[in-house]
Amino acid sequence: MENNEVKAEQAVGMPRIGDKAPEFKAVTTQGEINFPSDYSGKWVILFSHPADFTPVCTTEFITFASMADQFKEANCELVGLSVDGLYSHIAWLRTIQEKIEYRGHKNVEVKFPLIEDITMEVAKKYGMIQPGEDTTKAVRAVFFIDPQGTVRSMIYYPLSLGRNFDEIYRALIAMQAADEFGVATPADWRPGDDVIIGPAGSCGTAKDRMDGKEDMTCQDWFFCQKPIAKDEVLSKILKK
């Protein structure tokens, strides 16, 4: 078999935006989970890291764990995965809590489940093994799965690049706001910024838009925005 054929065989399917999240049952540091059914009615971020006891992953876990309550408030649970075994996960998370400080966070307890995936069954289902990068470690994948179990977005990073968790949180809130208000969000959007209204025909006529008859500002027929106050966005999305 040619090298490329071997690599293609190792990288089984990859869910796409709009697909139902592939189902699996797994052992985690918090007990067994059935995915995604255990998370029905909630958003869930399923993410992979290359290996336990590695430095970049350690900084990522400290950062994610320190933001876990923030994600919970946005009705979102976190689930990690690597192709390591359960006892490695437990030992690594204990070491992080007992010894490692990163950006002022210390004594950090990782309370969200971390999946053991020695067989790579789950990692392969989610396209987390990308053989051009590494044949035995998962890349840094992030899957956003909505309360109906649909994959809404995914981000992949190579082994050497630690993720930006502010962006992961921003993307979650932006997708929730888009669902809640029936709008789209522009580049770098954050709650309180103007949102984008869909194309003419989907919401008022182009003439009404250009005449300023609707609650929106149009610079041209295709480019209409409207304000939504930060409080309004956050009060709809965040649990009190």
Sign, CA dihedral 208-214-218-224, equals negative
- Taking alpha carbons only, the member of 137, 141, 166 closest to residue 47 is 141
Helix (H, G, I), strand (E, B) or coil at 54: coil
Candidate segments 24-32, 51-59, 92-100, 218-226, binder of ligand BEZ by CB under 6 A: 51-59
Is the Cβ of residue 37 or residue 136 nearer to ligand BEZ in the bound state?
A: 136
80 contacts ligand BEZ (rule: CB under 6 A): no
- Is residue 57 annotated as a catalytic residue, yes or no? yes
Closest distance between ligand BEZ and the C-beta of residue 164, in Å? 15
Per DSSP bridges, beta strands 76-82 and 114-116 are parallel
With contacts defined by CB under 6 A, how many residues of the chain interact with ligand BEZ? 9
Q: State how far the Cα of 231 lies from the Cα of 184, in Å rounded to an integer.
A: 18
What is the 3 state secondary structure string of 172-212? HHHHHHHHHHCCECCCCCCCCCCEECCCCCCCCCHHHHHCC
160 contacts ligand BEZ (rule: CB under 6 A): yes
Binding test (CB under 6 A) with ligand BEZ, winner from 44, 45, 46, 57: 57
Whether the CB-CB separation of 159 and 50 falls below 8 Å is answered with yes
159 contacts ligand BEZ (rule: CB under 6 A): yes
Binding mask 176-215 for ligand BEZ (x = CB under 6 A): ----------------------------------------
Candidate segments 13-21, 49-57, 73-81, 90-98, binder of ligand BEZ by CB under 6 A: 49-57
50 contacts ligand BEZ (rule: CB under 6 A): yes
Please give the residues from 136 up to 155 whose contact with ligand BEZ meets the rule CB under 6 A.
Answer: 137
Closest distance between ligand BEZ and the C-beta of residue 136, in Å? 10
55 contacts ligand BEZ (rule: CB under 6 A): yes
Is the Cβ of residue 10 or residue 217 nearer to ligand BEZ in the bound state?
A: 10
φ, ψ of residue 144 in degrees (nearest 5): -100, 120
Closest distance between ligand BEZ and the C-beta of residue 139, in Å? 9
Per DSSP bridges, beta strands 223-226 and 195-196 are antiparallel
Q: State how far the Cα of 72 lies from the Cα of 171, in Å rounded to an integer.
A: 15
